[in-house]
Structure 1
Amino acid sequence: MTSLSSNSSNSSNSAAPQRARDANTTFVLVHGSCSSSLMWAPVQRELALLGHRSFAVDLPGHGFDAQYPAAYQAPQDLEAWAAEPSTLAGVTLQDNVDMVVDIVRRVADHGPVVLVGASLGGTTITGVGNTVPDLVSRLVYISAWSCVQRANPIEYMQDPEFGANLLAPLAALNVGDPAELGVGRANYRTADPKLLAALKTAIMADGTDEQFRSFLNLLQPDESLAVMMADARGHAETWGTIARTYIRLTDDRSLPVAMQNRLIAEADALTPDNPYDVHTLATSHVGFLLKPAEVAGILDQLTV
């Protein structure tokens, strides 16, 4: 099993062959649930300062294709919004994978591809690894779902390693019936101070209130249930052949570090000859975006 001891962003030998900076690598960055390419801006700036190319993906129905109904605006009409059909209801994990596979095929013409996923974005990059392992030089999971034994995040959430998460009290953020809508719908524009404080504690306890509100305004309210419930397991003969890195976030209370450790251990057991290269940052679930130089430093030192 890979050691879970902390590695700093400059722990790799500076003379290591074929570092990412030397190989014209493109970092393809995949966001998590209710997010978009915009979340990656701090990391992309730091990668650019290190001389790297990067491409931040907007998964189907995200970014400028996201749905922000009038009933979600201020003043809100929660009753009307609860019944509003979602444009994400028909989006599947395979749709996400297909989009990123197309991007990987195109950028691979220009050099090695390192595929980076955060949170739920891990399920997409695993699917890409299953599909085009020959086109991906390395997979990087940043406190991301890397499923092996269980099929998807929803199944893992029933297990003890997920018990330290702080998401349960946030059920009051939900609007509408997920089974009817086909999406989880969260009211990130709530004015309830207790809910906002609980959400900050769960996802960005290490940020200021201003930073938390800035991040909150990047989020979209809907996320497809089909994406979260699809079979997202990595296959040893495809995904398992790709070099992979896991960046553990020890202060994460959305995807607890105990679950991150389990995901790492399961993957290493599946492919013992190709274990995770593990790095550690002391941040919350999205707090790594507040330390973009450290994240970029880890990526910079990866071999491809």
Structure 2
Amino acid sequence: MSPTFVLVHGAFATSFSFAPLQAELALRGVRSLAVDLPGHGFEATYPAAYQAPQDPAALATTPGAIKGVTLADNVARVVAVLERVREHGPAILVGHSRGGMTVTAVANARPDLVDRLVYVSAWAPVELDAAAYNAEPEMASVDAAALAGALAANPADVGLLRCNFRTADPDVLAGLKALFHADGTDDEFRAVLNLFQPDENLDTGTADDVAQADTWGTVPRTYVRLTEDASLPLAMQNRLIREGDALTPDNPYDVRDLSSSHLGWLVHPAPAADLLAELAAR
């Protein structure tokens, strides 16, 4: 039976981000399903203060539905989807960016539901919890100020991460574009920003949520490196691959490359669709 790709988005993203990729997969005869993690998509909060004209003071204090959502909640959502998908054949679980944390935790919890893991420039924590990697040398080139400039609320006050992706500040926009979509046009980049939701949850898991050899390590896996990624640099992608291979040397990553920024592969998805279709044909 042909497999179904189950697609898990990254931070501030939704299942809508995968629509162009899913169209390309469908044109190749490949089945796919994109998941909205809890508090995302139509479950997200879009404060009235986020509309134009914006009200920065209200935006900084308005509650959001994603407050309190945990990595465990994400895992439960994806497991429920996989249980249904597996009724119709194999499942290939794909995580992008922050979605890799969920993919890893799912494979720890229910490796029986996953026939292959695919990380696309995604967090696949092994030696450290996911948040701790941000302080490591491989992340030194990341312009953290770019995302900080978009912050619209104090996380300690609202219990979530809130960014103003509808800002018109040219410096913030330039910083975000350089970080996430330097290989795109300005129009493409603004289109991507308009797909983002303003809120993301705070939970990045703990040391217990890193890859486990006896569960996660039993599932075949592929890591797709985005070679032009400025937000999850190639050096960190390579470190995550090395750590995973060291954990389970008899089941190493199948490593593939796409020449893309962090988001460019979603805007121009044909190469990624070719790659995934080849994995599906195995």
Percent of counterpart pairs with the same letter? 56
Tell me the residue number matched to 1:210. Answer: 187
Matches within 5 A, 1:181-192: 181-192=158-169
Tell me the residue number matched to 1:110. Answer: 88
Alignment partners' CA distance in 2, 1:267 and 1:247: 14
Alignment partners' CA distance in 2, 1:70 and 1:259: 38
Matched, 1:155 2:153: no
Matches within 5 A, 1:213-292: 213-226=190-203, 228-231=204-207, 232-292=209-269
Instruction: Kindly indicate whether the alpha-carbon contact (under 8 Å) linking 2:43 and 2:65 is maintained by their aligned counterparts in 1.
Output: no
Instruction: Kindly indicate whether the alpha-carbon contact (under 8 Å) linking 2:146 and 2:179 is maintained by their aligned counterparts in 1.
Output: no
Aligned pair partner of 1:73 in 33, 40, 51: 51
Tell me the residue number matched to 1:13. Answer: none
Deviations along 1:247-297, whole A, 9 cap, x unmatched? 001110111110000000000000000000000111100111133111111
Alignment partners' CA distance in 1, 2:267 and 2:193: 14
Alignment partners' CA distance in 1, 2:75 and 2:50: 29
Instruction: Kindly indicate whether the alpha-carbon contact (under 8 Å) linking 1:28 and 1:115 is maintained by their aligned counterparts in 2.
Output: yes
Moved over 4 A (4+): none
5+ residue gaps, structure 2, are none
Instruction: Kindly indicate whether the alpha-carbon contact (under 8 Å) linking 1:46 and 1:296 is maintained by their aligned counterparts in 2.
Output: yes
Q: Secondary structure at the match of 2:231?
A: coil
Calculate the aligned-residue CA RMSD, in Å: 1.1
Q: Secondary structure at the match of 1:225?
A: coil
Task: Give the residue type in structure 2 aligned to 1:93.
Answer: L
How many correspondences in the alignment?
280
- Give the drift of 1:127: 1.1
- Give the drift of 1:194: 1.3
TM-score (norm 1): 0.90
Alignment partners' CA distance in 1, 2:107 and 2:268: 27
Alignment partners' CA distance in 2, 1:263 and 1:25: 26
Deviations along 1:7-65, whole A, 9 cap, x unmatched? xxxxxxxxxxxxxxxx3110000000101000001110111011111100011111111
Tell me the residue number matched to 2:79. Answer: 101
After the TM superposition, which of the residue ranges 120-129 and 165-174 deviates more from structure 2? 165-174
5+ residue gaps, structure 1, are 1-22
TM-score (norm 2): 0.97
Instruction: Kindly indicate whether the alpha-carbon contact (under 8 Å) linking 2:153 and 2:163 is maintained by their aligned counterparts in 1.
Output: no
Alignment partners' CA distance in 2, 1:265 and 1:40: 28
- Give the drift of 1:229: 4.4
Tell me the residue number matched to 2:21. Answer: 43
Tell me the residue number matched to 2:64. Answer: 86
- Give the drift of 1:167: 2.8
Alignment partners' CA distance in 1, 2:86 and 2:121: 25
Alignment partners' CA distance in 2, 1:280 and 1:87: 36
- Give the drift of 1:170: 3.0
Tell me the residue number matched to 2:31. Answer: 53
Tell me the residue number matched to 2:178. Answer: 201
Instruction: Kindly indicate whether the alpha-carbon contact (under 8 Å) linking 1:250 and 1:280 is maintained by their aligned counterparts in 2.
Output: yes
- Give the drift of 1:184: 1.2
Alignment partners' CA distance in 1, 2:108 and 2:8: 16
Instruction: Kindly indicate whether the alpha-carbon contact (under 8 Å) linking 1:93 and 1:230 is maintained by their aligned counterparts in 2.
Output: no
